[in-house]
Structure formats: C-alpha cells, structure tokens
A and B are shown apart, each in its own frame.
Chain A
Amino acid sequence: MAAAWQSRVPEPRLEYVAAVEDLPPGSRKILRVRGREIGVFNVDGRVYALKNVCVHQGARVCLGKVSGTTLPSHVYEFQYGHEGRILRCPWHGWEYDVTTGQSLFDPAVRVVTYPVTIVNGGIYVRVGGAGTV
C-alpha cells in the first residue's frame, strides 16, 4: 500500500524556465511551472526562484517592487542596503529577501523557494508535481 501511494506523488524534477541571456541582472520573469506560478529573479548575477504566493494573504508576491531597504540599526539611525535584493509584497508590503525567501521581520516566515540550476545557458528550477508546494 505504501509503495502504491508513493508512486502517485509526482517526483521533483528540473524544469526549464528561461535562457540566461533573457534574465539579465535586476530582471525577473513570472511563469507557470508544473501547475504553480513562480517568480524567477536575477540578483547580481545569481538566479533565485520564489513561489508567487505571499504567505500572508496569498497575494502574487513576485509582482512587488524590488529594491533595497533599511537595515537593522541603532535607534533613529537609517542604514540603507541590500539594493536589488528585497521584494516587497504588492499588498501589505512584507519584505522578503529574494536570495533566501525569508521575511525581514521574522526569518521563520518565508515564501516557498525552489533550487535553481544553470546548465548550458539555461535556467532550470527544481519543482515537485502539481499538488506539492
């Protein structure tokens, strides 16, 4: 019985999402992969893939503005940093670090991320089948 159940869970596999040259630094693409929408971002030459669902109320988080933000500081100090790395959900403005998927107010609160592999100029994202995260 266990074996039959396991064979029905779609295995993760690498899915092609874009050519490297089509995702220059600072750009993003939103696309559907195996039944879910993901955002693929190039931050300073490295590529990251985030599920396009904010864990707060389900907004399409990857449509938000990408910028820097104010870093942890002393009281009444403002230090700006992480330029190009912070994704703000278009609804309530929750800030996520694109490179980790973690929110800035609580690292335990995070959007789903997917491993990214670059092979032969192609960007591949490892995702499970429909029904998995």
Chain B
Amino acid sequence: MRIVDTDVHHSFASWHAIVPYLPPAFQRRVIDGRGRGLARHGFRKISEFAAPLATDPSTVAGALTARGVDRAILNGSIHSLGVQPNMDFAAAIARAINCWTFESWVRPHPLFRGSILIAQQDPAAAVAEIEHWAATPGMVQVLMCSASESPYGRRQYHPIYAACERHGLPLALHLGGEGAGVSAPSTPVGHPSTYFEWYSALPQAYMAHLTSMVSEGVFERFPGLRVVLCEGGIAWLPHVVWRFEKNFKAVRAETPWLSKLPSAYVWKHFRFTSYPLEEFRREQDLGFLMRLVHGETTVMFSTGYPDTEFGDPFAMVDSLPERYREAVLAGTALTLYGGRLAVARA
C-alpha cells in the first residue's frame, strides 16, 4: 500500500440518507423537522474554491484512486454530535451515520475504511456504540468531535478510552464543531467574527485536549491508546509541548501519576494528519518542524477531500524532505491501524 488517506469528509445529500437507520421516534423528528436539525456554530464558509459535497461513493473513490490513494479513512462531515444538547438524539444520529457509512461506503468499496462516530457527552452510550462496531471489519477507528464541554483528560471520558484500548482502536478527534451547541466558544476569548478567523483558531482545541489528556494520566491508565488529531497542522506542537513540559517540571507534585515527561507521552500517543499544514516562508522550515514533531512516526497523509481549498494535499507532502515521505504517505498509518486497514471483509 503506497498511499493511505487518513481524513476524507464523506457526506450525505440529505438527512433522508440516514433516516432508515434511525429508530422510529427519531425518524419522525427528522422527517417532520423541515430541515431543522443539529445546533450549528454559525460560521459559514465563503470561498470561491468551495467544492460540492462528497456524497457519491463511486465518484469519491474514483477521484482518490486517480491520485494513487489505496485506502481512505472516512471521517464524515458532521463534527458537532458531541456538543448537541440532546444526548439521546445525538447517540441515535451517531448510530445511524455509522450504519449508513458502513452500508453505503465501506461494505461496497474496498478503498474505504470507516470511523465509529460517537457522541461523547454520554460516555456510556458512546461505549455502547464502540462495542457495537468494534468487531466489524472495515471500521478502523473511533471518531469524536474535538468540540466539547470539557477537556478530554477529564475522568468522565475515560470509559471511552478504555473501550478504544480494549479493542485496539485508535481514537480520532476532528475539528469543526467548536462554538456549536453546548461547546465553549471556539477560542478562550470568545467567539470569532468570520469563518476564516474561526478556522484559523481551531487547533487551540487540540492544544487544550492534548494537555488535558496527558495531565490527567489518560496514557498511564490506557497505555495502548493512540489519538489522531485531524486537520490541525503541526507547527503549534513545539511551543505547546515545550511550555507544558517546562511547567510540569515545576508543578510535578500536582500530577504525581505521570511517570514520564509530557513530551514522551505526546510523541508516543498522538498522530497528526497532514492536511492542511501551515504555510512556511523558507524551504527548510517544514523539514525543521517535521523533525521537532518526530514526523517520521507521527504525521500521516490526508486530503480532507473534498475540502481541499487550502491547496493540493499531495503537493504539501511532496514538499517534505524525502526521508519522511514513505512514512507519511502510508507507513505510519499502516503501523497505527494495523490489520484493519488491509482486511476489508470477514
């Protein structure tokens, strides 16, 4: 396998695509709802580059295969389930989306692998969803939105990590729901004004989650857990890790269960998808950042298809120093997802 795309935003044209997979009570809600649905953050993308939604599996498969992609992991286009105020509705939507993903995309097309979408605000329901799909070939990871009421180190989320570790499933976080529903505003200083500003600030959610998960000993409790941060770039990592580690040396007594320095947890347990990388002025800057983030073992190729308005994802990886390319394009993903990536069906 030469190229694994670790972040594809597959989508449905209308909610009716998932209605068949909802329990009858929720079917009525969606059908009668006249288009009202999930809580939204209110930032609308205005771009001359906006692509049509990726709603047809064959079209998407064709487009990706034409660029040499051998496997594509589907992360969907709904990244706010975990901050919807009605937990039961959110859990039902998660199940329905997972069924639709599996039946329409994963089962018929060898290219695609699915993510088990969960709504994390009800951890027990989320665990049940993971248990439901864990043994299904073709589902390769658990997916939850990074938008949240609380940082992910907090103990109410630990049962989710236990389930992920139990089944050897990586956990992917995806940006996009920040500021919607019950989530905090998308920056610590309130709501931005435009989608551009909102999008530029999104990785701050990852910074907070990463610090939280390490601090609260998630990786001491669940040493097998791996977390994928999608669409957040990499250039923030040196600052965050160095500041975090400098602080840890000072206040270690507050988190005595940490047996390692924070950086050791970060490079071992976190992975980062490549699209989009930050822009750098000088040719050597990207290679330098890749070294600082241990890119040969932590960065995985992604396209974000069809949302490729920030530049050609393949060109971004082409500009990497040669020694990173094989690992980024497929090697690290193959190691992370293991046999699940190769085996399509039972």
Contacts and interface: CB of A to CB of B under 8 A. Distances in A.
Interface string B248-268: 111111101101010000000
B249 A70 contact: no
Interface stretch (B70-78, B216-224, B337-345): B216-224
B40 to A, nearest CB: 36
Tell me the interface secondary structure of chain B in the complex. Answer: helix
B155 interface: yes
A77 B250 contact: no
Contacts of B259: 72
A94 B217 CA distance: 20
A101 to B, nearest CB: 16
Contacts of B216: 75-76
Given A70-B256, A105-B261, A106-B261, A75 B220 contact: yes
B257 A105 contact: no
A41 B194 CA distance: 60
Given A105-B261, A106-B261, A72 B250 contact: no
Contact of A93 (B155, B217, B250, B256): B250
Contacts of A94: 249-250
A104 interface: yes
Q: Which among B217, B250, B256 has the greatest number of chain A C-beta atoms within 10 A? A: B256
Contacts of A130: none
Contact of B251 (A79, A93, A103): A93
A117 B253 CA distance: 32
Interface string A96-122: 000000011110000000000000000
B339 to A, nearest CB: 30
Contacts of B217: 75-76
Interface in B291-306: none
Nearest to B256: A70
Nearest to A104: B252
Contacts of B249: 56, 92, 94, 103, 105-106
Interface in A70-85: 70-79
A4 B249 CA distance: 44
A73 B256 contact: yes
A92 B253 contact: no
A76 B252 contact: no
Contact of B257 (A69, A75, A92): A75
Contacts of A70: 253-254, 256
B251 A71 contact: no
Interface string A41-84: 00000000000000010000000000001111111111100000
Interface string B173-214: 000000000000000000000000000000000000000000
Contacts of A105: 248-249, 252, 261
A75 B253 contact: no
25 contacts: A69-B256, A70-B254, A70-B256, A71-B256, A73-B257, A74-B220, A74-B257, A75-B216, A75-B217, A75-B220, A75-B257, A76-B216, A76-B257, A77-B257, A78-B256, A79-B256, A92-B249, A93-B251, A94-B249, A94-B250, A95-B252, A95-B253, A104-B252, A105-B249, A106-B261
Would you list the 5 A-B pairs with minimal beta carbon distance, nearest first?
A75-B217, A70-B256, A92-B250, A75-B257, A93-B250
Interface of B: 155, 216-217, 220-221, 248-254, 256-257, 259, 261
Given A72-B256, A103-B249, A105-B261, 6 more contacts: A70-B254, A72-B257, A75-B220, A75-B257, A95-B253, A106-B249
